[in-house]
Structure 1
Amino acid sequence: MKKMILPALLAASLFAAPAFAQKPAVKKTNPGTEKAASVAYAVQPQLSTLGWVGKKVTGQHNGNIQFKDGNVLVRGNQIVGGTFVVDMNSLKVEDIKEQEYNGKLVGHLRSEDFFSIDKNPTSTFKITSLTPLKGDANGNNATVNGDLTIKGITKPISFPAKVGVKNGVASASGTATIDRTKYDIKYGSKSFFESIGDKAIMDEFTMSFNVIAKK
């Protein structure tokens, strides 16, 4: 009797095995472990500002330029990325009030010596990462890292900023220092023309920004 029962049980188990094998394994998930999707907030050019200062041995000039468009990526209540497009054709000089000389400087900045605006009507900045910043004397709470493109040349850049998200509005403000020679803007640079004397223009210029983006 035992000899008959054992083969029967063995046969039953062999026929049943494929049925169990076909059932897919259940993948356990832990709620909250997956990253929430980021939301794009639209940059508001009419509410945002972008100012520049360029220095030379004998003084300095300043002006402004406008954002064309862009977006800020928000996850939860934090800024995690973004892309910003600057309208180079909007470049203005503010410190020279005399119209003729103002126009001459604007024309020179638009030329091949500087930003070659006819060929490169926009510049862009794309955030690659943000890291927390503590104890900054100016109230900045993050270091912004990203890729800046001027005259079609892209280089990495980092700068401190104050960033935040509140009530459907993302904001970022601060000042970035840019080495123009990295973007093939060498006119008047003592790094390339040693004998230029007091006509030298500093390699670095600053861009002060206040960006507002809305959901």
Structure 2
Amino acid sequence: MKKLSIAMMVLAVAAVACTDAPNADQAATAEKQEAAAATGASFAIDTTNSVVEWLGTKPIGQHNGIMKIANGIFSVENGTITAGNFTIDVNTLTDLDLTTETGKEKLEGHLKSPDFFDVAKFPTAKFEITSVEPISNDSLATHKISGNLTLKDSTKNVSFPAKLTIAENAVKAEANFNIDRTQWGLHYGNDKSLGDKFIRPEVNIKLNISANKS
């Protein structure tokens, strides 16, 4: 009976330790498309109050952090975004769940290495809007945004739901979605035979972007 109890405890701990893939909408991925034509007023992205959040998981844990936006602009007409783009400074990639003692710098260095983003060659990533379509009957999103996402030397078009808040002099865009990093050639750790060292291909991205009328 005692052995059975110990076994059940081990199974319970294992179940808690197992981390699922990020819970969010999966972005649809397609080939690169033509950028949307800019019409309407220009809104410059407020890089101080805008951020890209990321989260990656593996069977026994997860890591999350941020990257800063270097610059960007939205075009707004008739109460919606018509076009725009922003550049992400991948050198600012920061992990938020570790400390120096638990490997923060080691993880950040690995993510910036050729195994992942290779920031020495590709210091920035870019997103360029190709279309914005309204969504109805969705409590969390107002529009579907599609755009060309460039990571390293690969560009794919991604579509995801977003919440847009448009005011006379300010714009806020919020989104929460998953991408499959292997679509951009980021294959490191993507072999399930690695067991506990396996890193899921799904990466969760959250966009919190504010912009002000130029």
C-alpha contact 2:39 2:82 (8 A) present in aligned 1: no
C-alpha contact 1:130 1:144 (8 A) present in aligned 2: yes
What is residue 123 of structure 1 aligned with on the other side?
125
1:114 is displaced (CA, Å) by 0.5
Query: In 2, Cα distance between the equivalents of 1:85 and 1:43?
Result: 10
Please say if 1:157 is aligned against 2:155.
no
Query: In 1, Cα distance between the equivalents of 2:101 and 2:66?
Result: 16
What is residue 204 of structure 2 aligned with on the other side?
206
Length-normalised TM-score, structure 2 = 0.79
Query: What is the 5 A alignment of 1:10-25?
Result: none
What is residue 8 of structure 2 aligned with on the other side?
none
What is residue 61 of structure 1 aligned with on the other side?
63
SS in 1 for 2:55: strand
Query: In 1, Cα distance between the equivalents of 2:77 and 2:134?
Result: 15
Specify the structure having the higher radius of gyration (Cα): 1
> Residue 213 and residue 100 in structure 1: after superposition, are their counterparts in 2 closer, same or farther (change >3 A)?
same
What is residue 185 of structure 1 aligned with on the other side?
186
1:164 is displaced (CA, Å) by 2.5
1:98 is displaced (CA, Å) by 3.1
SS in 1 for 2:85: strand
Deviations 1:69-91 (A, max 9, x none): 00011113211111010000100
What is residue 145 of structure 2 aligned with on the other side?
144
Query: In 1, Cα distance between the equivalents of 2:203 and 2:194?
Result: 19
The percent identity for this pair of structures is 37
SS in 2 for 1:186: coil
SS in 2 for 1:202: coil
Which structure 2 residue ranges, 5 or more long, are not aligned?
Answer: 1-37
Counterpart residue type for residue 204 of structure 2: T
Counterpart residue type for residue 182 of structure 1: Q
Query: In 1, Cα distance between the equivalents of 2:138 and 2:79?
Result: 21
1:99 is displaced (CA, Å) by 4.3
Higher relative contact order structure (alpha carbons within 8 Å, sequence separation ≥ 6): 2
> Residue 73 and residue 97 in structure 1: after superposition, are their counterparts in 2 closer, same or farther (change >3 A)?
same
Deviations 1:175-195 (A, max 9, x none): 1311111111101002xxx42
Tell me the number of residue pairs that the alignment of Structure 1 and Structure 2 aligns. 176
1:198 is displaced (CA, Å) by 2.2
SS in 1 for 2:208: strand
RMSD between superposed Cα atoms in Å: 1.5
C-alpha contact 1:79 1:164 (8 A) present in aligned 2: no
C-alpha contact 2:165 2:173 (8 A) present in aligned 1: yes
Query: In 2, Cα distance between the equivalents of 1:197 and 1:163?
Result: 40
Query: In 1, Cα distance between the equivalents of 2:122 and 2:101?
Result: 25
C-alpha contact 1:70 1:83 (8 A) present in aligned 2: yes
Query: In 2, Cα distance between the equivalents of 1:99 and 1:50?
Result: 25
Query: In 1, Cα distance between the equivalents of 2:59 and 2:116?
Result: 18
Counterpart residue type for residue 195 of structure 1: S
Please say if 1:50 is aligned against 2:52.
yes
Counterpart residue type for residue 62 of structure 1: N
Deviations 1:26-45 (A, max 9, x none): xxxxxxxxxx9422210110
Query: In 1, Cα distance between the equivalents of 2:105 and 2:126?
Result: 25
